[in-house]
Amino acid sequence: MSPILEFHQATKAFRGIPAIKNINFTLSVGEIHAVVGENGAGKSTLMKVLAGVYELTSGELIFDGKPLHLKSPAEALAQGIAMVFQETNLVPSMTVAQNIYLGEEQLFNRLRGLYIQAQRFLLSLNFYVDPMALVSTLGAGKKQMVEIARAVHHHARVLIFDEPTASLTPEEKFHFFNLVRRLQRDGMSIIFISHALEEALTLSDRITVLRDGEVVVTDSTRNFDRSRLVHAMVGRNLSSELYGSAQERTTRPYGEEILSVRNLSMGNIVRNTSFSVFSGQITGMFGLVGAGRTETMKIISGVLKRDFFHGGEVRLKGRHVRYRTPRPAVVDGIVYVTEDRKVEGFFETMSIAENIQVGELTTGRNPLALVTMTEARRMAAEWTKRLGVRAIDPGARVIELSGGNQQKVVIAKSLVQKPKLVIFDEPTRGVDVGAIVEIHRFINELADDGIAVVVISSYLPEVLALSDRILVARQGRIVEEMDISEATEAKIMYAAVH
């Protein structure tokens, strides 16, 4: 197959520090090419060069046999290169149809015609999305479909997926894979960035592994297995550290009942759900998207409010509590580490130290809110060391960090609040394997220290690797509880679906 796209000795440096260096990369017509690597390996930089966000410092990009100098994403799109971001770039207050045809508005727009056109177009792609629905009301899976539809509509020939499956349920992933294969059959070339190595191994034709901004290896997928891939990514073997057999490890005994939730209800999302959480243990919570896991935990931590009448009750160490804002929950020792770190997790233009300091201020232990930067920096240094946050510059803004390091900052910002109960919502979403090991280790340390830990995860191996007991949520309720000794992927999935 002839290459549609090539990088020759591509280098991109920021403030003189190369994020990618001397990259040689080719993408063939109708190929699915997976790009994997740890956070900070340079995947996103490479793809942003391709999508017109950055320009190369040196080297060249050849597209369709001709050198290409992209100045903006719009130019890239005009050339037929589209990128579907991990966090979708849709306008939430506009409808699906308006998003698909964004930028093509006429002076007078006939919305009805637009919706009919969008409906036909979406159906031609086998996407069952209501074109009149507001994007803000869509789930992550459907948002992704709209993004893809938009790219297809712009006649993209190269489609770049950045962590496309991070927010999808197993069922949605299955549909997504089918879709990608269909796009491939239609002649589209696809670059697929993922931290889920199984997905790269399942879906792609070739895999390129990046480490520290350089290509370690590019090879046909059939020459890779999981351990070779991990080894290439991190330079050591992490497979057993990552997701060892759940049955092999010893579980922690039940501690004190920290949280008791009874008949909790919120609209149709959380429906009469009851469960308990114990100290010194990791309680895993699995469920498909829409099972109400996040909403349940947000109610508990005061981010959302439960129903005013018949909303059930939440007891913290036997004491009835009802939080209307997160702050009193934080003061009482309940901390929720969000799944959507970019929106809810940190202040992206602030430094690591400032973010951690904000976490400390929330606790009310510093009533005058007097902040000395020396103290903030000391705290930041302590937590960055403890969590292994790697930043080129300690004063760097959080937005400049890689996904794994951003997640560590979010965790540090929460744990500085000295919680009794920590709720991790998808703690390793969009995080590389090296950082996953570190985050898992840290979560285990918290439980070993006697803190009650809840881990919400849609990734079954993660739930099995971390949890001492597993709660399965379905349609707004906890429907099953399992000890880790009896839990298997099949059992958990059965409970989550049936």
Partner 1 sequence: MIGALKRAYAAFRGFDDETGSAPMMDGPLRPNALLDAAPVALSLADVDNLTQHRGALLCSSGSRLLGLAPQGTSLTASDGGAFEQPVTFVAPGPSDSLAIGLDGRGVLILEGPHAGKAIAGAGGQPLCSPTAGLFVDADRLIVANGAEGRTATDWKRDLMERGATGSLWLIDLSTPGKTATQLGKNLAFPTGLAHAADGRVHVSEAWLHRILAFKKEAMSAPQAVLSDLPAYPGRIAPARDGGFWLALFAPRNQLVEFVLREDDYRRRMIDTVDPDFWIAPALSSGVSFLEPIQGGARKKLNMLKPWSPSWSYGLVAKCGPTMQPLRSFHSRADGAIHGVTSCCEFDGKLYVAAKGSGRIVAVDLADTGAHDP
Q: Which CB atom, from 393 or from 449, has the smaller least distance to partner 1?
A: 449
Q: How far is the CB of 262 from partner 1 (least distance, A)?
A: 5
**Residue 395, burial from CB neighbour count under 10 angstroms (0-12, 13-18, 19+):** exposed
Q: How far is the CB of 417 from partner 1 (least distance, A)?
A: 25
Q: How far is the CB of 259 from partner 1 (least distance, A)?
A: 10
Do the beta carbons of residue 190 and residue 33 sit within 8 Å? yes
Residue pointed to by tokens 């070739």: 206
481 binds partner 1 per the rule CB under 8 A: yes
Candidates 170-178, 186-194, 269-277, 489-497 — which segment interacts with partner 1 by CB under 8 A?
269-277
Q: Which CB atom, from 152 or from 496, has the smaller least distance to partner 1?
A: 496
Q: Which CB atom, from 124 or from 485, has the smaller least distance to partner 1?
A: 485
139 binds partner 1 per the rule CB under 8 A: no
Q: How far is the CB of 115 from partner 1 (least distance, A)?
A: 41
Among positions 15, 185, 308, 498, the unique one binding partner 1 when judged by CB under 8 A? 308
498 binds partner 1 per the rule CB under 8 A: no
- The rounded Cα 1 to chain-centroid distance in angstroms is 33
Q: How far is the CB of 249 from partner 1 (least distance, A)?
A: 14
108 binds partner 1 per the rule CB under 8 A: no
181 binds partner 1 per the rule CB under 8 A: no
Count CB atoms within 10 A of the CB of residue 408.
Answer: 27
Q: How far is the CB of 483 from partner 1 (least distance, A)?
A: 8
Distance CA 405, CA 431 (A): 8
Candidates 82-90, 319-327, 400-408, 433-441 — which segment interacts with partner 1 by CB under 8 A?
319-327
Site string for partner 1, 229-268 (x = CB under 8 A): ------------------------xxxxx--x-xx-----
Among positions 15, 71, 107, 309, the unique one binding partner 1 when judged by CB under 8 A? 309
Beta strand spans in 185-333 (E):
189-193, 206-211, 214-220, 257-266, 270-278, 282-287, 313-316, 319-321
276 binds partner 1 per the rule CB under 8 A: yes
Q: How many residues bind to partner 1 according to rule CB under 8 A?
A: 25
Among positions 15, 66, 185, 310, the unique one binding partner 1 when judged by CB under 8 A? 310
Identity of residue 498: H
Site string for partner 1, 458-477 (x = CB under 8 A): -----------x--------
328 binds partner 1 per the rule CB under 8 A: no
3 binds partner 1 per the rule CB under 8 A: no
Q: Which CB atom, from 400 or from 481, has the smaller least distance to partner 1?
A: 481
Q: How far is the CB of 486 from partner 1 (least distance, A)?
A: 11
Dump the DSSP string for 431-456: --HHHHHHHHHHHHHHHHTT-EEEEE
Q: What is the DSSP letter of 392?
A: S
Q: How far is the CB of 263 from partner 1 (least distance, A)?
A: 6
Among positions 69, 320, 378, 418, the unique one binding partner 1 when judged by CB under 8 A? 320
271 binds partner 1 per the rule CB under 8 A: no
Closest by CA to 329, choosing from 255, 449, 423, 453, is 423
* Residue 229 structure tokens: 């891939």
Q: Which CB atom, from 272 or from 363, has the smaller least distance to partner 1?
A: 272
CA angle 465, 175, 136 (to 5 degrees): 90
16 binds partner 1 per the rule CB under 8 A: no
Backbone angles phi, psi at 91, to 5 degrees: -90, 110
CB under 8 Å to 460, separation ≥6 — which residues?
170, 286, 489, 492, 493
* Residue 108 structure tokens: 């007078």
Q: Which CB atom, from 118 or from 258, has the smaller least distance to partner 1?
A: 258
Report in angstroms the alpha-carbon separations of 396 from 163, 375, 409, 414: 24, 17, 12, 19
Candidates 27-35, 320-328, 378-386, 453-461 — which segment interacts with partner 1 by CB under 8 A?
320-328
Q: Which CB atom, from 209 or from 258, has the smaller least distance to partner 1?
A: 258
Do the beta carbons of residue 389 and residue 409 sit within 8 Å? yes
Do the beta carbons of residue 169 and residue 92 sit within 8 Å? no
Q: Which CB atom, from 222 or from 310, has the smaller least distance to partner 1?
A: 310
SS3 content of the chain, % helix, strand, coil (to 5): 40, 25, 35
CB under 8 Å to 10, separation ≥6 — which residues?
20, 22, 23, 24, 25, 46, 49, 56, 58, 59, 60, 61
Q: Which CB atom, from 321 or from 371, has the smaller least distance to partner 1?
A: 321
Distance CA 339, CA 382 (A): 24
Q: Measured on CA atoms in the order 295, 299, 301, 303, is the torsion positive or negative?
A: positive
Q: How far is the CB of 316 from partner 1 (least distance, A)?
A: 12
Residue 415, CB half-sphere, CA atoms under 13 Å: how many?
Answer: 24
Please report, as ranges, the residues that interact with partner 1 according to CB under 8 A: 253-257, 260, 262-263, 274-276, 278, 308-310, 312-313, 315, 318, 320, 322, 324, 469, 481, 483
